[in-house]
Amino acid sequence: MLFDTPPRTVARVCVDSPLPHLDRLFDYLVPEETADRVRPGCRVKVRFAGRLLSGFVIELATDTRYEGRLHPIEKLVSPEPVLSEPVAKLAREIADRYAGNLSDVLRLAVPPRQARIEQEEPPGRAGPIVEPPAAGWRRYAHGERFLTALSARRHPRVVWQALPGEDWRTRLAEAAAATAAGGRGALLIVPDQRDLEALDAALTRVLGPDRHVCLSAAMGPAKRYRAFLAARRGTVRVVAGTRAAVFAPVADLGLVVLWDDGDDSHAEPHAPYPHAREVLLTRAKLGDCAAVIAGWTRSTQAELLVESGWATAVTAERETVRRASPRVVPVGDDADLAADPDSGAARLPTPAWRAAQKALRDGNPVLVQSPRRGYLPAVSCADCRRRAQCAQCSGPLGLPSSGATPACRWCGRPAADHRCAGCGGRRLRANVIGAARTAEELGRAFAGVPVHTSGGDRILGEVAAGPAIVVATPGAEPVAVGGYGAVLLLDTWALLSRADLRAEEEALRRWFAAAALARPAADGGSVVVVADGGLPTVQALLRWDPAWFAARELGTRNELRFPPLVRMVALTGRPASVAELMALTELPTGTDVLGPIPVDAETERLLLRTTRRDGMRLAAELHRASAARSLKKPGDVVRVQVDPRELW
């Protein structure tokens, strides 16, 4: 009819707002002049409550349920559809899993726009990828079949425990190549930039040049956005990156990989605080693709995947493990003290000294893992042993270098005239010895041997073959050409005595990461761990069997109702605010309320514990309650963290 209303296009937009009560899609009219360019996934500006806000078009429709007058889209920022439909669905799932807002997840998923990069001529697609050889994977049970399944477009899900000395970056590159040879995409996530650079080189060797891109926050805005667009446009099929790449828009995703899932770097520090492992496992579920959780050890979360039947363990036979492993020597039990009474007070016991001497004599480098950075990070009174504190802020005093003036580690004030508040003494002694002091001591003990340090903002990538001593903090151990002749694990108490649910698991992860760099026992490689050989963590290192420890730890946590067998949620805020949120929340039946405990003078922390089955329901309830509070008190926020990394 002549007077029929012409059809109109409605865009459903996710508005960029941190307020929980605005966590939904809002309908806007698409202006006629931009109707042919507005597409799902593009960036727009919309008018909301009198302000101009950014947003993403999630979908287009011809009708709306909104009964009022629709506002038009104010501005089409770019017609580039940077948000793909699979990533939008993933973002919604992750937001619900972590009791967060969709807009917060999209802020993590899509990097800021670089207009100049969008105008660049896109590179042509590279040719087909040849399926890689499977020789490296044949050392593992199910390894060759795993690669075959990837190239056949199937979706195996595995937990892979790498052998000591394994070139794990090349193995992961081969898995990505097998996936790409089958016509699907792959996404590989590693903890830090150093690992990413090494993985980048391995992917170039296996895939060939220009067949993959790297994504990380350290790349710089332009380079990162260029790599992001290459993945979004389907120019490349393989993406490698750090935590910032977990939402990378890989076309036809067939494989997700996470190396060392226990590393703290995989935990996102911004709301809603998702963990890279959970994001990738959710992608595997939604996209029906293969998944690999890999590392030198096995986390309790990975063990739960194996025990539940969700994933298959890919490990080597025991005989293969024995041939590849170094000899592990514990030092610290009663028999060691009886044989060498002075070793109890020595930082470098006799067996460790001898192992280092032998390795250097054989022309091999020695790795020393020291858990603390700095020189003397903590000192105390030499007379009464009271911890030395700053006179201004009561912070701990430390010594930054030999001959330096003691200084506060909190406010940085020097304390040249420090006097003990307890006895008045002026002399100081070391409480904790850092990596710099360790390197200094070893340099004096092994005169003429080069001593290198790795840690903090100066991390070594590789150490040449030949006699040398490398003192590294956990996670900063460089690879040695040919492997280390000896690895010394010092001050183990510093890792084992942490007030953390994951202290033993984390200690074992860090020990294995260093020990895996040693030469096999047949080639003279040895690991000396300064700890009691009866400890479960040391037993796992002795047997080179982290799966045994993970199963044992998971069983203990099951009895105590600890994660990952349950869902934990931490609520942090002002006491009155936390109480208001709890009053608005309908907790699932059986949910435990633990606390609250004070965090500082103004805030407290409350823990909620429920079953894994009720985890999503609890997250939904907390998000609903947060939305109700934000309507009344938009500035008074209670931080909600699902499965926080630190529980005490």
Cα–Cα distance measured from residue 498 to residue 390, given in angstroms and rounded to the nearest whole number: 24
Q: How many residues does the chain have?
A: 648
CB atoms near residue 523 (< 10 Å): 14
Q: Which amino acid is it at 301?
A: Q
Q: Which residues are annotated as a binding site for Zn(2+)?
A: 381, 384, 390, 393, 408, 411, 420, 423
Cα–Cα distance measured from residue 21 to residue 628, given in angstroms and rounded to the nearest whole number: 7
* Three-class DSSP category at 5: coil
Cα radius of gyration rounded to whole Å, the chain = 28
SS (HEC) of 583-646:
HHCCCCCCCEEEEEEECCCCCEEEEEEEECCCHHHHHHHHHHHHHHHHHHCCCCCCEEEECCCC
Q: Closest Cα to residue 374, out of 349, 409, 348?
A: 409
Structure tokens at 643: 């499965």
Cα–Cα distance measured from residue 468 to residue 445, given in angstroms and rounded to the nearest whole number: 13
Cα–Cα distance measured from residue 434 to residue 479, given in angstroms and rounded to the nearest whole number: 21
User: Would strands 604-611 and 407-408 be described as parallel, antiparallel, or unpaired?
Assistant: unpaired
Q: Which amino acid is it at 73?
A: I
Cα–Cα distance measured from residue 481 to residue 460, given in angstroms and rounded to the nearest whole number: 13
Cα–Cα distance measured from residue 377 to residue 396, given in angstroms and rounded to the nearest whole number: 9
H or E, element range at 222: helix 221-232
Cα–Cα distance measured from residue 279 to residue 272, given in angstroms and rounded to the nearest whole number: 12
The CA distances from residue 559 to 553, 556, 644, in Å, are 10, 5, 20
Query: By the 8 A CB rule, do 139 and 146 touch?
Result: no
Q: Omega of the bond prior to 596 within 30 degrees of 0, cis?
A: yes
Sign, CA dihedral 603-606-607-608, equals: negative
Q: For residue 344, with 0-12 CB atoms within 10 Å meaning exposed, 13-18 middle and 19 or more buried, which class applies? A: exposed
Q: For residue 255, with 0-12 CB atoms within 10 Å meaning exposed, 13-18 middle and 19 or more buried, which class applies? A: buried
Structure tokens at 12: 């459903």
Q: Which residues are annotated as a binding site?
A: 381, 384, 390, 393, 408, 411, 420, 423
* Three-class DSSP category at 211: coil
H or E, element range at 421: none
Cα–Cα distance measured from residue 404 to residue 613, given in angstroms and rounded to the nearest whole number: 56
Query: By the 8 A CB rule, do 520 and 165 touch?
Result: yes
Structure tokens at 446: 């092994």
Q: Give the DSSP letter of residue 325.
A: S
Query: By the 8 A CB rule, do 632 and 559 touch?
Result: no
Cα–Cα distance measured from residue 35 to residue 33, given in angstroms and rounded to the nearest whole number: 6
